[in-house]
Chains A and B, each alone.
Chain A
Amino acid sequence: KAGVTQTPRYLIKTRGQQVTLSCSPISGHRSVSWYQQTPGQGLQFLFEYFSETQRNKGNFPGRFSGRQFSNSRSEMNVSTLELGDSALYLCASSTRDRYNEQFFGPGTRLTVL
């Protein structure tokens, strides 16, 4: 069974631009969570989706948004990029029954110049 995939793997943007990251969960997994990883703040939870609905949200500004499609694929969008948004963005998926056992993707490295 294929693992969690994230595209693109690397991205370079400039301040003020917006970006969309994509995550395809493991087949059969309907829960998708997003995390931001930085050297200074560590791993921080962004949001979680299940059945196309946001079920949980972390403490990030409204510039960070996400959505989930009927096939469980998820996207996250960051508008008006700031230098501090440079980070590794990780996506994780899980099943409904074992929702605490999260499987992570390789991440998207976003650099904001």
Chain B
Amino acid sequence: AQTVTQSQPEMSVQEAETVTLSCTYDTSESDYYLFWYKQPPSRQMILVIRQEAYKQQNATENRFSVNFQKAAKSFSLKISDSQLGDAAMYFCAYRSARRYNNNDMRFGAGTRLTVKP
């Protein structure tokens, strides 16, 4: 079964600095998707960035970028120029590319990011 591990329960970053959140996953599949979701105190989960496993190029969305290492099964999120609004719980998630049939989204335990002014 696929599992997602986030080894950092909490992280802290100074405003305007850069922080990297770690995520590793375990799978025997070759085709899948990886995601980072943000859950601020308001609780609404927001998709931050997604990566298709077949793409070698790392995904980037403005200040957010990932370091996808398929062989190492690692998928870290880098937040540049951190802002106070980035403070939230961040979840790494995995989903098989198979349509249906046990391809539910698997989430890590989350990393709580604090941004210090």
Contact = CB atoms under 8 A, between A and B. Distances in A.
Interface of A: 33, 35, 42-45, 48, 55-56, 58, 88, 90, 92, 99-107
Given A42-B107, A100-B33, A100-B95, A56 B101 contact: yes
A42 B110 contact: yes
Contacts of A35: 105
A35 B91 CA distance: 14
Nearest to B105: A45
Interface residues of B, number: 25
Contact of B47 (A42, A99, A102): A102
B46 interface: yes
A71 B105 CA distance: 24
Interface stretch (B11-19, B37-45, B63-71): B37-45
B109 interface: yes
Nearest to B101: A56
B43 A106 contact: yes
A105 B50 CA distance: 19
Given A42-B109, A100-B33, A100-B95, A56 B103 contact: yes
A105 B42 CA distance: 11
Given A42-B107, A42-B110, A43-B107, A104 B45 contact: yes
